[in-house]
Amino acid sequence: MPGNNKVGFISLGCPKALVDSERILTQLRMDGYDIVPDYAGADVVVVNTCGFIDLARQESLDAIGEALHENGRVIVTGCLGAQAESITSVHPKVLAVSGPHAYEQVVGQVHEYLPPPPKTHDPFSDLVPPQGIKLTPRHYAYLKISEGCNHRCSFCIIPSMRGDLVSRPIADVLEEAERLVNAGVKELLVISQDTSAYGVDTKYQTGFWQGRPLKANMQGLCEALAEFGIWVRLHYVYPYPHVDNIIPLMAENKIVPYLDIPFQHASLPILKAMKRPAATEKSLQRIQNWRTQCPDLTIRSTFIVGFPGETEDDFQQLLDFLEQAQLDRVGCFQYSPVVGAKANELANHVADEIKQERWNRFMETQQAISTSRLANKIGKTIEVLVDSVDDQGATARSHADAPEIDGVVYIAKDEELEPGNLLKVTVTDSDAYDLYAKRGRRYPQKISN
């Protein structure tokens, strides 16, 4: 086969895994490999797996099985790879397995099974754009600031797969951010397992960026990222007291007034059984203080219903919390046991039909909250970033909407719009999750699906 250096790549899992995939692909391109979009044209296939919950594990195992069936030469990496035997016991023919963020290891394995072509090019200028290979659209990018996690939430096996917290040096993070901004990125989505813990492992060691010292903690990082003058959105923030220091930056619109805080529950005994970081009854008060300082703040969160030991009273506390906190964006999962998680050993698992019934009540409650909060935006002028354009109009996002997980803003047809445009629109209508808007004064109809 000409070139004989073609790699197929399957990327599964969360934004953190996506960033791992981007790094591996960037390195493979620098080494002279071609990345091909189908099994038939590939000399070897790399599968970046997810292992977070049983469903994701099964999806990963199925993807490996398909790649083996269609191609036969498969290298596995990613979270599920941390438990290599769970892969090799099902698929003994995989060529090699590595764990999450094992960039050098997986690239080394590709070299072993498919030697790279002789270097006749300059790897930096010929094949790879300066910002590296991005799997997201051109106008936004994930910026991973750390690996791993120091917490041990009882339902989670991420620390056993990704290890303890390792923060990237602040200068490296800012250098990557600058490359992305220079390449046209208009929104940086800061990700990690615990963004508020940034720098804990390095004791907030001062770094140097453009000749000036910067403290490597969450606030120092946010202040420096704000200087790029683009949207900076924070994900996976835990409500530690020092998060309060970030709110003024949001109030001044230096970073996007949006906090993604996975509260997971509101009942203290359940939070304790979950071993959640910053589990406290003061969350409501904190939220109120933040909103007083920054009225435009959007709070997104996720919750688990039906955690072992959750009583009707615990669940009612969760519903009460939702009513009082009036969160903007909320995801909810029914608890399901994950192989290797400590929570499996807890007593009083909740029956499936009760989990379902609580999930329904939760969603109903939150849907009413979301509908009324979005309706309050009708008539307001908001800034949006256009993600895509088709013949019905444009799909965009406001400060309140992270890609993939939140709602969107539909903009009535406007010939001049293109993906990546930043513009002001007036909100004309809303539903449970999305907004409808238009440039100028006239109000459009809802765009039908």
Residue of the chain from 65, 159, 169, 419 that contacts ligand SF4 (CB under 6 A): 159
Number of residues in contact with ligand SF4 under rule CB under 6 A: 10
- Nearest Cα residue to 25 out of 135, 173, 174: 135
Single out the segment in contact with ligand SF4 by CB under 6 A; choices: 36-44, 146-154, 313-321, 358-366: 146-154
Among the listed residues 23, 73, 91, 151, the single contact to ligand SF4 using CB under 6 A: 151
Residue 147 in contact with ligand SF4, rule: CB under 6 A: no
**Pairing between strand 435-438 and 393-398?**
unpaired
Q: Residue 119 or 242: which CB sits closer to ligand SF4?
A: 242
Ramachandran category for residue 101: left, alpha or beta (phi over 0 → left; psi -120 to 50 → alpha): left
3-state secondary structure of 234: strand
CB of 194 to ligand SF4, least distance (A): 5
Tell me if 428 sits within 8 A of 437, measured CB to CB: yes
Collapsed DSSP state (helix, strand, coil) of residue 357: helix
Of 44, 80, 87, 153, the residue at the interface with ligand SF4 (CB under 6 A) is 153
The minimum distance between CB 179 and ligand SF4, in angstroms, equals: 27
Dihedral (C-alpha) 360, 364, 370, 372: value to the nearest 10 degrees? 180
Evaluate whether 144 touches 130 at the Cβ level (below 8 Å). Answer: no
Burial string for 136-173 (b: 16+ CB within 10 Å, else e) reads beebbbbbbbbbbbebebbbbbbbebbbebebbebeeb
Q: Amino acid letter at 296? A: D
Question: Sign of dihedral through CA atoms 436, 438, 442, 447?
Answer: negative
Position 156 contacts ligand SF4 (CB under 6 A): yes
Instruction: Report the C-alpha gap between 169 and 153 in whole angstroms.
Output: 26
Q: How far is the CB of 283 from ligand SF4 (least distance, A)?
A: 16
**Is residue 194 a contact point for ligand SF4 (CB under 6 A)?**
yes
Q: How far is the CB of 52 from ligand SF4 (least distance, A)?
A: 9
Any contact of residue 53 with ligand SF4 (CB under 6 A)? no
Task: Count CA atoms within 13 Å of residue 407 on its CB side.
Answer: 21
Q: CB under 6 A: which stretch of 111-119, 154-162, 203-211, 390-398 binds ligand SF4?
A: 154-162
With respect to ligand SF4, which residue has the nearer C-beta, 91 or 342?
342
> What is the SS3 assignment for 145?
coil
Among 28, 95, 158, 318, binds ligand SF4 (CB under 6 A): 158
Residue among 65 and 159 whose Cβ is closer to ligand SF4: 159
By beta-carbon proximity to ligand SF4, the closer residue of 36 and 200 is: 200
Q: Interacting stretch for ligand SF4, rule CB under 6 A, among 66-74, 91-99, 155-163, 439-447? A: 155-163
Contact 298, 400 (CB under 8 A): yes
Instruction: Tell which phi-psi region holds residue 340, choosing left (phi > 0), alpha (psi between -120 and 50) or beta.
Output: left
Cα separation, 235 vs 189, in Å, equals 7
21 is a contact residue toward ligand SF4 (CB under 6 A): no
Binding mask 263-282 for ligand SF4 (x = CB under 6 A): --------------x-----
**By CB under 6 A, which span of 156-164, 285-293, 318-326, 338-346 interacts with ligand SF4?**
156-164
Reference 65, options 34, 90, 31; nearest CA is 90
- For residue 349, the minimal CB distance to ligand SF4 (Å) is 19
User: Which of residues 29 and 235 has its CB atom nearest to ligand SF4 in the complex?
Assistant: 235
**Contact (Cβ atoms closer than 8 angstroms) between residue 224 and residue 208:** no
The distance of closest approach from Cβ of residue 242 to ligand SF4 in the complex, given in angstroms and rounded to an integer, is 16
Binding-site ranges for ligand SF4 (CB under 6 A): 149, 151-153, 156, 158-159, 193-194, 277
